[in-house]
Amino acid sequence: MTDLKDRILAGVSKDLSEIESAVSQNLNPHLELVSRVARHILFSGGKRLRPLLMILSARLCGYENRDAFSFSALFEYLHAATLLHDDLVDGADLRRGKQAAHHIWGNPTVVLVGDFLLARSLSLAARTGRPEIIRTIAGITEAMSQGEIQQLRLKGDPTITEADYMDIIRRKTAVLFEGACRSGALLAGLSDTQVSALGQYGADLGHAFQMADDLLDYTADTRVLGKAVGADLREGKLTLPLIYALAAADDAEKRFIRHLISSPALSLEAFRDLVKILHKRGGIAYTEHLAARYVQSAKEALGGFPPSPTRALLMDIADYALARKM
């Protein structure tokens, strides 16, 4: 596991430092306040996974041009915009161990800085002058807002199904991963087949990544995670481990889970009991199993590309999506 992480980091460290400066240099706000709020979320230890996927996808397709880094920043801006708006929508307290932006600057400013970041990412897309790329980026934004709305609509609703969940994570997470990988291939001017293959890799990886995230909310350490475990449940977000376990639970367990869903406070003890039920009723194992299938599918999507260090890195990243501890 640590080997895997070290191997990935060694393979991408130069790219990550280029991405880091691109994220800093392309923000270009008119107002100091915008810069301060945007940087709070942009430089809080994000993994830069989305820009990185775009860079590696472009490289896999033979595209190696410095302008790719400026372009890649837009995926981090898009991600940051949705984090700002979502934390506000969810009433989240912490983000990556830091106070959520809306607690510091208030909702109005955070709404508007999120809008700025959305707009900035679309400006960067427009700068490519490539309509398919621009359409991809605009489509991502549409999908993400609708995924978040659907999640909000089903907040605390114990009748949520696995299909609802899959639909939500596709829109709110997988579409952005897919778009980052597709854009890399499009930038390289590759054929539809290769664009689709990389898009498939991204979409599968995005699904696996979100499922792993939702697992971590039940299984990780608060200290490692940078936010409180159990936060999803407290915010009314019912994810696959719980959805699956609830369906398989006996009557007493069902009552207990439904009670937790509807009560605003969640004690550590109740949370631990819940996690036991999620294990016992297969919610954890099922989610791990499904995520592993998505990882497998992501790797298979790269099968048409000849072996290369970049392809190996993308394979490692797929494995790491599930193996990571934060």
* Contact flag: residue 109 with a copy of itself (CB under 8 A): yes
* Contact flag: residue 282 with a copy of itself (CB under 8 A): no
Report how far residue 146's alpha carbon sits from residue 320's, in angstroms, rounded to the nearest whole number. Answer: 28
* Contact flag: residue 150 with a copy of itself (CB under 8 A): yes
Phi and psi at 277, nearest 5°, equal -65, -40
Residue 307, burial from CB neighbour count under 10 angstroms (0-12, 13-18, 19+): exposed
> Six-digit token pair at 188?
């390289």
Q: Which residue stretch of 13-21, 104-112, 248-256, 265-273 sits at the interface with a copy of itself (rule: CB under 8 A)?
A: 104-112
Q: Which residue stretch of 134-142, 184-192, 206-214, 250-258 sits at the interface with a copy of itself (rule: CB under 8 A)?
A: 134-142
* Contact flag: residue 126 with a copy of itself (CB under 8 A): yes
The angle at the Cα of 15, spanning 13 to 16, to the nearest 5 degrees, equals: 65
Residue 296, burial from CB neighbour count under 10 angstroms (0-12, 13-18, 19+): middle
Q: Which residue stretch of 114-122, 186-194, 199-207, 292-300 sits at the interface with a copy of itself (rule: CB under 8 A)?
A: 114-122
Kindly report the number of other CB atoms within 10 A of residue 268's CB atom. 9
Cβ 271 vs Cβ 232: under 8 Å: no
Within residues 160-199, the interface with a copy of itself by CB under 8 A covers none
Shortest separation between residue 121's beta carbon and a copy of itself, angstroms: 9
* Contact flag: residue 158 with a copy of itself (CB under 8 A): no
Question: According to CB under 8 A, which one of 44, 145, 196, 296 is a site residue for a copy of itself?
Answer: 145
Q: Which residue stretch of 5-13, 53-61, 147-155, 189-197 sits at the interface with a copy of itself (rule: CB under 8 A)?
A: 147-155
Within residues 38-97, the interface with a copy of itself by CB under 8 A covers 85, 88-90
Report how far residue 18's alpha carbon sits from residue 54's, in angstroms, rounded to the nearest whole number. Answer: 13
Question: According to CB under 8 A, which one of 4, 16, 94, 134 is a site residue for a copy of itself?
Answer: 134
Shortest separation between residue 189's beta carbon and a copy of itself, angstroms: 16
Nearer CB in complex with a copy of itself: 19/143: 143
Nearer CB in complex with a copy of itself: 116/201: 116
* DSSP state letters, 130-174: -HHHHHHHHHHHHHHHHHHHHHHHTTT-TT--HHHHHHHHIIIII
Nearer CB in complex with a copy of itself: 118/242: 118
In this structure, which amino acid lies at residue 115? D
Please give the size of the binding site for a copy of itself, defined by CB under 8 A: 45
Strand partners, 99: 94
Task: Strands of the chain (E only): list them.
Answer: 94-95, 98-99
Question: According to CB under 8 A, which one of 76, 148, 214, 232 is a site residue for a copy of itself?
Answer: 148
Query: Which residues, other chains included, contact 35 with Cβ-Cβ below 8 Å and sequence gap of 6+?
Result: 27, 29
* Contact flag: residue 303 with a copy of itself (CB under 8 A): no
Nearer CB in complex with a copy of itself: 102/299: 102
Shortest separation between residue 148's beta carbon and a copy of itself, angstroms: 5
Nearer CB in complex with a copy of itself: 122/215: 122
CA 176 vs CA 77, 89, 109, 136, 158: distances in Å: 12, 19, 25, 9, 27
Task: Report the interface residues with a copy of itself, using CB under 8 A.
Answer: 29-31, 33-34, 85, 88-90, 107-109, 111-116, 118-120, 122-123, 125-131, 134-135, 137-139, 141-142, 144-146, 148-150, 152-153
